[in-house]
Structure 1
Amino acid sequence: MGRRAGKTSGVGDVVVLAALLGLAGGVVVPTTYGEVNGVELPTSFIGGAVFDRIYTFKGIPYAAPPVGDLRWRPPQDPAGWTGVRDAAQFGARCPQVVEMPFPPGSPLYELSGPFRSNSSSEDCLFLNVYTPNVASTADLPVMVWLHGGGLAIGSADTYPAEIPTSLNNVVMVTINYRLGNLGFLPTRDAETDGNVALMDMAKALQWVQANIRNFGGDPDRVTIFGQSGGAWGVSLLVMSPETRGLYRRAISQSGVAGLGASRRGDTAKTENLAASLNCPMDSFDDMMSCLRSKPAHDLLELDAPVPIVGGSFLPDADDLWDIMYKKQVNEVDYLLGTMDGEFSYGLLAAVPQVTADGLDRTVFEEILPAQLNFIAAQFPDGNVDNIVQPVIDQYMNPDSDDPIYTRDRFIQLMTDYRFTATTVLMAQAVAAHDTARVYQYEFQHHTTSVSPERPPYAKADHGDDLFYMFGIPLLRDDTGASWKYSFTQEERDLSLDMMAYWVNFAANGDPSDFTGAARMRDLVTWPRYMTSSQSYLKLDVTSSADVKIRESNMKFWNEEVPRLMGKDVIAVGDDFVVSTTHGDVRGSEFLTSSVVGNALFDRVFTFKGIPYAAPPVGDLRWRPPQDPAGWTGVRDVTEFGARCPQVEYPLPHPIYGEVLGSGGIASSEDCLFLNVYTPNVSDTANLPVMVWIHGGAWYFGSSSTYPAEIPTSLNNVVMVTINYRLGNLGFLPTLDDDAPGNFGLLDAIKALEWVQSNIQNFGGDPDRVTIFGESAGGWSVSLLVMSPMATGLFHRAISQSGVAGVPVAQKGDITLTQNLALSLNCSTDSYDDMMSCLRGLPSEDFLTLMAWPVVIDGRFLLQSPWDLMNHKFINRVDYLLGTNNDEVGYELAAEFPFIDADGMTRAEFESNLPFLLQQVVDQYLVGSVDMILQPAIDQYLDPDMADDPIYLRDQFKQLLMDAFFTSQTVMMAKTEAGMLAVAWEASSRVYQYELQHRASVFSFRPPYVGVDHGDDLFFLFGLPLLRDDKGSNWKYSFTQEERDLSLDMMAYWVNFATNGDPNDSTGAARMRDMVNWPRFMTSSQSYLKLDVTSSADVKLRESNMKFWNEEVPRLMGKHVHSNRASHGTRETSCSLSVLAFTFLVFYLLA
């Protein structure tokens, strides 16, 4: 586009700097709304100016006047004009409630008085452009300045952008935006919600995108920057999805939006204002019409403006803190920082109790609650009273009453909480994006020449950076012969350094990169802020780098205070990037110090939703798991992946939600994810690894339901939890040679292969992997112990309340699959067509209750589980396994209405038993229930007690528990313990337990119930150690003995995973004085009675175990082997009762 020279008169007294020398001419530039005539400004009054002249264009309208019906509306395009619009004068300031006068002759005057427009008006949406080069090919970086003033006062004309523009290769733009109530009044308009000031800023950036090239700027290198309230505006724009693409980089100086916010639709403030102005309240439209008719000055208040979250401009969140906490920010380069004494002079004037003589300790404690008003605004649902004493404890030495000390600590406290803490929180949020480059600073130079009357204890005060950023130390007097103010040469250099850092960042995204700069300076290298190192620059006449600015204070304000104010603080803080075979992943921290009582580590690192296999969808449904697709860049793994498709199961009691609730996690066939929890991400940590396989009868459940953060925070261990395919999608028999079933178990193997390849990068030792699981997870563990495909993938195993006494099918028996296909209208005439039809149906069609057998496929499983145990044809591993003492006491028994406090009848006992014993028969693939029915009755019923309903009830439960849980556990223990050692391997170490403590939180259960199925989960996952939301009390009413039992149980488990012996605490993070757990040998059969006072015993219910493990198999025609090792194989036929297994599938809940 062309430009034409023009003449202009001087701009008069409004622009003092220009008036010093007189103006020599002008220049005309076209914009989308018409041409503008700017001013050519000589720069001899600026010491060290690179350019002898720059061009200024002032008062350019970027939006229509927001008056009349446009008040509180989104900014509209301005009216175009014909001819050339004069752009030599500033436009009007936006209406504001107070002015900020400074004495003539002071440097502050240069930043206020002589530059300001003489008037204010609602017709104020103007911007100003300063450029050293108006060529459309110049492609200079662009910096758009948002003025300060708490979003309530200030204007663009206050800041002499002529100076930095004359010293650097940069185009600068300064803008006005609506202020106070005119910029932030909540409305019910869907298009605005009340954030019209932020929309003004976005509108100005749209203007920049459309026009700045004509002024020499590069629209692809736009940086927004601001100080104080302007820095708030910058941070709010970084939070807004509506501003993506309008800028590339951002700078916040002394302010990140840690201020109050309203929720969309909350118009209480607007209604209060309307009432005070006698506007009608019956109709919201009438009320707004009335308010729009009022003079602007009637609407101005001193109250801090309040942005609105959850509407059309800012993300949906409870407040601004949540947005930063959840990292709902744009992926842009960000430079941000604070002064080291933000509250040491100017803002401190609002606290007259602080004097040169200090601050009395008693007065400090009296005024503190009122000074914490910003916290109350940040967290409106909290109570400031909750944090007053913690603040005192954080900042004050209880033994000091020194008023000077108290004053200095008060200044530090106010600086940290009002400025530095939110700056660090925002740095963390943006740095979590892998491509965003973040740089933090603290300005530490105390400028005595700015305000000689300042007391010596004042540090770098709020706003001092503006003098250096806008080059005030470089101003010469009106002859251009000497410096105008008494800044030192070091301070003039500091001003040049600060401008160079800022412009380098705007140009290249790196403040130390001088590519394209107009002037080279010997600057200290500014290290990039990473979420782990948290490097920052101490900006001073002699700058230096450091890390983790006031780390303890930052953790206090960003972690402890939000929690005390009612926030669910789980993972504020560092994010960490770890490499895997498929790509890098970024996790987050779980802060444990206030959430978990007795935590050894104040944080653990969590990596959630890591894909270990490709989505098993389409043709991969009912196929072995395949490698996932790799990715470039860094994958965010701070949220759980989807659960595998399942039917929702109602929780029996709210406390179960802590370990069994889905937590709102969606279900999808793309569900093959795992999660890693570690206290140490060093690849040399070599911690033991425990891989959790969840329960749920292979019917429901997911890895996301178990709070592994808690045991990880209490022990030296890496924990991994995995998803696997469930139900029909995980266990449907097929005719495929490579995998005729067992898909959920093949998923577990795939996850273990991932662990072997990657866990060292997460601090784990791949040579010390323990698999553990409960209920159906215990089944899976035992089947992996039996599978040759799993050999070498783990070294120890733990089965809780479940060993694989499950139904089996022979390879090729697809009766269940055909029945399912027919029920879904898929033809069974052709196997391929049938499977193609089934693979084309939605996953929801397969969420039916069926019996899912383990297939003897010749690869994963060579024989039935019973035969493998009987022949001792299993992997040689250390094994810890056990049960609870009343597995069928409450949740499973709830499905039998005849079991109650009054007991049951003999007829009920005998009539229900055959149905349940069918499950036992199905393990052997031969025989019938009739063969074992009467022997079972004889084993469990004393003829002299056979009519006692209480006795009958208790024996019925005992029979079911022994048949389905304890006997299989004992058989597996004897099998593994009977494995003979070979020359290169030690014999397996086996440990058995029975949990015998009924938790006090289950007082709602009837008194005859003991330790029910799943109760062990509460102790293993540390629920008794959870604190309430204030961190001051225990969350649940577990006793101290129960908290100790939880610690003991975790210690036994982790010791076993570490050393193969639950008593060996070598390498443990915590030593506990625990009862010695004897090793299970085939002869002694020792076990531990796990209780608040544990003890050892031998041969758990010996007579019953012999009945189920020796007598019943013989009655079924099986040959029971001795304890000698055997490696034979045996083919058998399939006989499966779907009806009987349905019971176990549906009622094994955990």
Structure 2
Amino acid sequence: MSVAAAKAAAERARRRAHEAMVAAAEQSRGEKLTIKTATGWVHGRMEETEGKLVRSWRGIPFGADTSGDNRFRAPRPAPAWEGIRYCSEFGPVAPQPTYSWQDRIVGSEDCLHLDVVRPDTDEKLPVVVYFHGGSFIVGSSHMLMLRGFQLTEAMNVVYVSINFRLGALGYLDLRSLSDDCVANPAVMDQLLALQWVQENISAFGGDPDCVTAMGESAGGAAVLTLMASPAAKGLFHRAIAQSSPVGMVHSRTQSTFWARELVKRMALPRGTTVGALREAAGDDIVRAGQSMMWRNGELLHLNSSYAPTVDGDLIPDHPLEVFARGQQLDIPLLIGTNSDEASFSKFMFQREHIRQRAAVRLLASFDEENARGVVDAYDGATNRNDFAELLADALFWAPSIRIAQSHALKNSTWMYRFSYASKALRALGLGAMHSMELSNVFGDMNASRASLLLRMGSAEEMDELTALMQRHWANFIHFGRPGNDWPQYTTSASQAKSESPGVAPAHRATMTFDVPHRLDFDPRRERRKAWNDYNMLEWGLGRPDILAEIEFLLEGFRP
């Protein structure tokens, strides 16, 4: 037998043994996998991860179909069912693009499903509710990285990952077209899922009084947005926000701009109402939404098509402003970013003067007066690295710093900076890219989009960092604080006054996850201070032409 044939035979034998082990476990634990929820019975399955078994329930509906007349409306709870629902397959993803040459759309508007995973024990455990990332336009509860099999076993928690509406169907406020809709469908989906958890998670062995809301990227922004919403009070008790672009939350002006752009891309009349969009094919709306996002150049003004919208009710004010006033949920917060979030942007512009102009343009849409001062703190952003850092800080780090320093005045706050990169990632100039920390938090290097590059490094280093981060995350989820070797993030005036000239302050403690890891105090201080006066709250203040056009549109459609 050849070496290849022997390997193939060994793999088949291993797979058969694995399937037999899982089947035997499912047979012996049949009663444990059958759970009664408020809407009906569900039956799960066993999953194997690194030789250990976990219990899993896939595709449990928490909300009803959102298509047709339910499009752009508040979600409704899932209808009850009779008999046992076998939850062995994941539910459909929310409608989203595939970014393929075919312009194909995947998913279903009947997408309000969630997945539950727990260790193979009968212990009552803390709960993690995870909000996936994907720029508010793509992603799902069951992306390979986010299935949570290893995380739930390593951290000893009940893990819940949820789907919610995306893109134009979930993150676009269409009230400027007609008032027969809600401003924030996706945020309402998330609230409904959290309510489901409160009502049902104890049946899965989860503690409804110890729930951590956790998310990365757009999911991190979802967590912070929910912290700023009075409707979320009591639905979760701790929060973890990783690489959150919370500064991108839409103003009413911004949402009006994008609502009109969607109508234009759909080739509909100017007077189109939400009713007409309900009659359109969902796939056409998603395609039009993608077209308007990528083809009008607004991303160069930090004007993303999709985000939660300040509606004065569900989201009463910009989360940054809510946190600054101390009106957010009074719960512990763990927050941080990666050191090379936007390293891809090093390759965007070839000439130094073009990079500098682009840097000022990026910031001026929010605050024309202070944009130049921020750019100067990055040496004009003419260097590729400085430009990439400026973009990363504008999107992720500066808003997260502002959230952390505001929340530290209200409740316990811990901040981190993820800086680890394999030799291959460093050699390519990519560094600790956006979402790279997920491999360590979830404990699954093979599920990463950069798994090949991660494997071109030290497995020992990755294992060391994974154990460290999972210890801190688990401690926070279980006890409301990470390990004792990670001090709280504080910005008290008394500490600031005790600083000696020329000596780094002993506050703003930031855990830097690298190999070796370290504690930094007020890292990148001068750049942090450069953002102090910059207004992140109101897109469009530096775009008087856009403001005038939108005001004209609003006047034309007011009753």
Gap change, CA 1:843 and 1:1006, over 3 Å in 2: farther
1:520-553 Cα distance to aligned partner (Å, 9 max, x none):
xxxxxxxxxx6526xxxxxxxxxxxxxxxxxxxx
Supply the distance in 2 between the matched residues of 1:699 and 1:913 (Cα, whole angstroms): 25
* TM-aligned CA deviation for residue 1037 of structure 1: 5.8
> TM-score, normalized by length of structure 1?
0.41
- SS of match in other structure, 2:96: coil
Gap change, CA 1:969 and 1:1139, over 3 Å in 2: farther
Q: Tell me the residue number matched to 1:883.
A: 337
- SS of match in other structure, 2:405: helix
Check the 8 A contact 2:98/2:105 in 1, yes or no. no
Q: Tell me the residue number matched to 1:673.
A: 113
* TM-aligned CA deviation for residue 629 of structure 1: 0.8
AA aligned opposite 2:468: D
Supply the distance in 1 between the matched residues of 2:11 and 2:402 (Cα, whole angstroms): 59
Q: Tell me the residue number matched to 1:719.
A: 159
AA aligned opposite 2:414: Y
* TM-aligned CA deviation for residue 897 of structure 1: 4.6
* TM-aligned CA deviation for residue 812 of structure 1: 11
* TM-aligned CA deviation for residue 1048 of structure 1: 1.5
* TM-aligned CA deviation for residue 823 of structure 1: 3.3
* TM-aligned CA deviation for residue 674 of structure 1: 0.6
* TM-aligned CA deviation for residue 1038 of structure 1: 4.6
Which structure carries more relative contact order (alpha carbon 8 Å, separation 6+)?
2
Match of 2:95 among 645, 650, 662: 645
1:561-592 Cα distance to aligned partner (Å, 9 max, x none):
xxxxxxxxxxxxx9811111111111101122
Match of 1:852 among 293, 300, 306: 306
Supply the distance in 2 between the matched residues of 1:1133 and 1:963 (Cα, whole angstroms): 13
1:395-414 Cα distance to aligned partner (Å, 9 max, x none):
xxxxxxxxxxxxxxxxxxxx
Q: Tell me the residue number matched to 1:840.
A: 279
1:293-327 Cα distance to aligned partner (Å, 9 max, x none):
xxxxxxxxxxxxxxxxxxxxxxxxxxxxxxxxxxx
Gap change, CA 1:824 and 1:732, over 3 Å in 2: same
* TM-aligned CA deviation for residue 1004 of structure 1: 5.8
* TM-aligned CA deviation for residue 862 of structure 1: 0.8
Gap change, CA 1:973 and 1:1139, over 3 Å in 2: farther
Check the 8 A contact 1:693/1:780 in 2, yes or no. yes
For the pair 1:932 / 2:370, whether they are aligned, the reply is yes
For the pair 1:1082 / 2:487, whether they are aligned, the reply is no
Check the 8 A contact 2:137/2:306 in 1, yes or no. no
Gap change, CA 1:616 and 1:384, over 3 Å in 2: closer
Check the 8 A contact 1:710/1:1022 in 2, yes or no. yes
Gap change, CA 1:935 and 1:666, over 3 Å in 2: closer
* TM-aligned CA deviation for residue 666 of structure 1: 5.1
* TM-aligned CA deviation for residue 842 of structure 1: 1.0
Q: Tell me the residue number matched to 1:604.
A: 54
Supply the distance in 2 between the matched residues of 1:665 and 1:828 (Cα, whole angstroms): 26
AA aligned opposite 2:129: V
Match of 2:319 among 860, 865, 874: 865
Check the 8 A contact 1:739/1:857 in 2, yes or no. no
- SS of match in other structure, 1:1089: strand
AA aligned opposite 1:838: L
Supply the distance in 2 between the matched residues of 1:578 and 1:385 (Cα, whole angstroms): 34
AA aligned opposite 1:677: V
Check the 8 A contact 2:346/2:385 in 1, yes or no. no
Check the 8 A contact 2:266/2:285 in 1, yes or no. no
For the pair 1:1011 / 2:432, whether they are aligned, the reply is yes
* TM-aligned CA deviation for residue 1012 of structure 1: 0.9
Supply the distance in 1 between the matched residues of 2:406 and 2:391 (Cα, whole angstroms): 22
Gap change, CA 1:800 and 1:427, over 3 Å in 2: closer
- SS of match in other structure, 2:116: strand
For the pair 1:701 / 2:139, whether they are aligned, the reply is yes
Match of 1:629 among 73, 79, 87: 79
Supply the distance in 2 between the matched residues of 1:870 and 1:855 (Cα, whole angstroms): 18
Q: Tell me the residue number matched to 1:975.
A: 406
Gap change, CA 1:824 and 1:955, over 3 Å in 2: closer
1:1031-1064 Cα distance to aligned partner (Å, 9 max, x none):
xxx9886521211211211121111011011116
Q: Tell me the residue number matched to 1:592.
A: 49
Between Structure 1 and Structure 2, how many residues are aligned?
500
1:21-43 Cα distance to aligned partner (Å, 9 max, x none):
xxxxxxxxxxxxxxxxxxxxxxx
Gap change, CA 1:974 and 1:1137, over 3 Å in 2: same
For the pair 1:1062 / 2:482, whether they are aligned, the reply is yes
Supply the distance in 1 between the matched residues of 2:22 and 2:308 (Cα, whole angstroms): 51
Match of 1:991 among 414, 420, 428: 414
AA aligned opposite 2:472: Y
Q: Tell me the residue number matched to 1:383.
A: 9
Gap change, CA 1:622 and 1:382, over 3 Å in 2: same
Match of 1:914 among 360, 363, 367: 360
Gap change, CA 1:617 and 1:1016, over 3 Å in 2: same
Equivalent runs, 1:320-339 vs 2, <5 Å: none
> TM-score, normalized by length of structure 2?
0.81
Check the 8 A contact 1:695/1:701 in 2, yes or no. yes
- SS of match in other structure, 2:9: coil
Runs of 4+ in structure 1 displaced over 6 angstroms?
A: 424-428, 1136-1140
Q: Tell me the residue number matched to 2:191.
A: 749
Supply the distance in 1 between the matched residues of 2:430 and 2:22 (Cα, whole angstroms): 49
Q: RMSD in angstroms over aligned alpha carbons?
A: 3.5
AA aligned opposite 2:479: N
Check the 8 A contact 1:640/1:665 in 2, yes or no. no
AA aligned opposite 1:1087: T
* TM-aligned CA deviation for residue 871 of structure 1: 2.0
- SS of match in other structure, 2:306: coil
- SS of match in other structure, 1:770: strand
For the pair 1:1046 / 2:543, whether they are aligned, the reply is no
* TM-aligned CA deviation for residue 1024 of structure 1: 3.8
Supply the distance in 1 between the matched residues of 2:325 and 2:22 (Cα, whole angstroms): 60
Match of 1:579 among 24, 36, 46: 36
Supply the distance in 2 between the matched residues of 1:933 and 1:760 (Cα, whole angstroms): 50
AA aligned opposite 2:155: N
| Structure 1, gaps ≥5 residues long | 1-368, 370-378, 391-416, 433-529, 534-573, 595-601, 652-663, 899-904, 922-927, 980-987, 1027-1033, 1065-1075, 1119-1131, 1141-1150
1:389-448 Cα distance to aligned partner (Å, 9 max, x none):
x9xxxxxxxxxxxxxxxxxxxxxxxxxx9xxx98x99899xxx8xxxxxxxxxxxxxxxx
Gap change, CA 1:750 and 1:380, over 3 Å in 2: farther
AA aligned opposite 1:1079: Q
1:739-797 Cα distance to aligned partner (Å, 9 max, x none):
63111111111111111111111111111111111111111111011111111100111
Equivalent runs, 1:166-205 vs 2, <5 Å: none
Larger helix proportion, structure 1 or 2?
A: 2
* TM-aligned CA deviation for residue 828 of structure 1: 4.4
Check the 8 A contact 1:967/1:1105 in 2, yes or no. yes
Supply the distance in 1 between the matched residues of 2:545 and 2:45 (Cα, whole angstroms): 46
AA aligned opposite 1:835: V
Supply the distance in 2 between the matched residues of 1:1111 and 1:965 (Cα, whole angstroms): 17
* TM-aligned CA deviation for residue 691 of structure 1: 1.0
Supply the distance in 2 between the matched residues of 1:700 and 1:1011 (Cα, whole angstroms): 22
Supply the distance in 2 between the matched residues of 1:807 and 1:1137 (Cα, whole angstroms): 17
Q: Tell me the residue number matched to 1:795.
A: 237
* TM-aligned CA deviation for residue 938 of structure 1: 2.3
AA aligned opposite 2:88: T
Gap change, CA 1:761 and 1:873, over 3 Å in 2: same
Gap change, CA 1:722 and 1:1133, over 3 Å in 2: closer
* TM-aligned CA deviation for residue 667 of structure 1: 1.0
* TM-aligned CA deviation for residue 1008 of structure 1: 3.5
Check the 8 A contact 2:40/2:80 in 1, yes or no. yes
Supply the distance in 2 between the matched residues of 1:774 and 1:815 (Cα, whole angstroms): 27
Q: Tell me the residue number matched to 2:130.
A: 692
For the pair 1:964 / 2:395, whether they are aligned, the reply is yes
* TM-aligned CA deviation for residue 1135 of structure 1: 5.6
Q: What fraction of aligned residue pairs are identical, expressed as a percent?
A: 30
Supply the distance in 2 between the matched residues of 1:579 and 1:1052 (Cα, whole angstroms): 33
| Structure 2, gaps ≥5 residues long | 294-304, 448-453, 493-506, 547-559
* TM-aligned CA deviation for residue 936 of structure 1: 2.4
* TM-aligned CA deviation for residue 1022 of structure 1: 0.9
Supply the distance in 2 between the matched residues of 1:1137 and 1:531 (Cα, whole angstroms): 65
Q: Tell me the residue number matched to 2:528.
A: 1105
